[in-house]
Amino acid sequence: MKDSELIDHLKQASEGLLWLSESDYPFEIVYWENLNCLDSSKLLQRTGHDLSTKVEVKELAQFFQPATEAQDWYNAQELAECQRYQALVNLLQTHLQEIKVYRVGEVEIDVYLLGKTESGSLAGLSTKVVET
């Protein structure tokens, strides 16, 4: 899939979804052309964070697990949202390689879900998590 198509699919799949924490934040599209290698310091530079900011790396499934596991007590709306998250994870896993979740900062944490595209650029989503 071409990068532009992937970006369109990511926009559609994440539209209206909020990542739930102590505050709810939407997802934003991230696309960094000609940046096929990422480490913590490059991420901090690219996102304008101080180089001493804490960065934690997680796996995609671990990050999304609370949103993708359907509970038997879910109502129809909660089940539909769970299925949207499952579709979003599937889209990311199908079209991005070497996906990692970068949690940047403490308390108000910027989250970047990034992987390599077919063309070698980095793409994915970002959101924010509040953990006090």
What burial letters (b/e) apply to 19-54, b meaning 16+ CB within 10 Å? bebeeebebeebbbeeeeebebeebbeeeebeeeee
Domains and CATH numbers, the chain: 3-130 (3.40.1460.10)
CA distance 124 to 99: 9
On the question of pLDDT at 30 being above 90, the answer is: yes
On the question of pLDDT at 108 being above 70, the answer is: yes
Contact 125, 27 (CB under 8 A): yes
pLDDT band of residue 38 (cuts 50, 70, 90) is confident
State pLDDT tens for residues 61-97: 999 999 999 999 999 999 999 999 999 999 999 999 9
Q: What's residue 27's pLDDT? A: 98
CA distance 22 to 18: 12
Averaged pLDDT, 5-26: 95
pLDDT band of residue 60 (cuts 50, 70, 90) is very high
pTM (whole model) above 0.85? yes
What are the backbone angles phi and psi of residue 106, rounded to the nearest 5°? -135, 150
